[in-house]
Structure 1
Amino acid sequence: MNKNRYLLCILLCGVLLYYGVPRLSPFSEGAEGIFSITWLAFALIVVAGNLTALLYTPKKPRAVKRSYSKVQKKKKIYYYQ
């Protein structure tokens, strides 16, 4: 479930970058340039964080099915002397 969410967040960030980057001008002066650089930095942080979470989530252990007929139950042996 979480992997789907991480993938969705990466795709949505990609869509926002696709529409936003042509309208940004990071080389302009003043508040417009600062806003553009900050927006791109935050987008990079979002993509990096979601990609890291997607790649490094621990895998769920598979359930091991045991056949009780094949597995012998251990019996305690008592020695009385």
Structure 2
Amino acid sequence: MKKNRYLLCLLLCGFMLYLAVPRLSVGTEGLEGIFAISWLAFALIVIAGNLTGLLYSPKKAVKGRQQPRINKKSRSY
């Protein structure tokens, strides 16, 4: 279920970047340039965090495939 959330967040972040990047002017001096650079930095942090969560999430264990172990006592003579 979490993988769906990570994927949705990645898609929304990509959509926001698609809309915002043409309007952001990184080369401008002053507050406008600082805002554009900081906005892009935060967007990259969001993408990195969601990719990390998506790629490094623990795998679910499949139940029923493993055969139960039978503990046998071994005798040594």
The equivalent residue for 1:2 is 2
Q: Quote the sequence identity (%).
A: 65
CA distance in 1, matches of 2:5, 2:42: 19
**Aligned residue type for 2:44:** L
Q: Which runs of 5+ in 1 are unaligned?
A: 75-81
CA distance in 1, matches of 2:49, 2:40: 14
How much is the aligned-residue C-alpha RMSD, in angstroms? 2.1
CA distance in 2, matches of 1:14, 1:30: 26
Q: How far did residue 67 of structure 1 move?
A: 7.6
CA distance in 2, matches of 1:66, 1:36: 53
Q: Which runs of 5+ in 2 are unaligned?
A: 73-77
The equivalent residue for 2:50 is 50
CA separation of 1:66/1:39 partners in 2, compared to 1, >3 Å: closer, same or farther?
closer
Aligned residue pairs total: 72
CA separation of 1:67/1:58 partners in 2, compared to 1, >3 Å: closer, same or farther?
closer
CA distance in 2, matches of 1:47, 1:3: 14
With normalisation by structure 2, the TM-score equals 0.83
CA distance in 2, matches of 1:24, 1:44: 15
Q: How far did residue 53 of structure 1 move?
A: 0.3
CA separation of 1:66/1:50 partners in 2, compared to 1, >3 Å: closer, same or farther?
closer
Q: How far did residue 59 of structure 1 move?
A: 0.4
The equivalent residue for 1:60 is 60
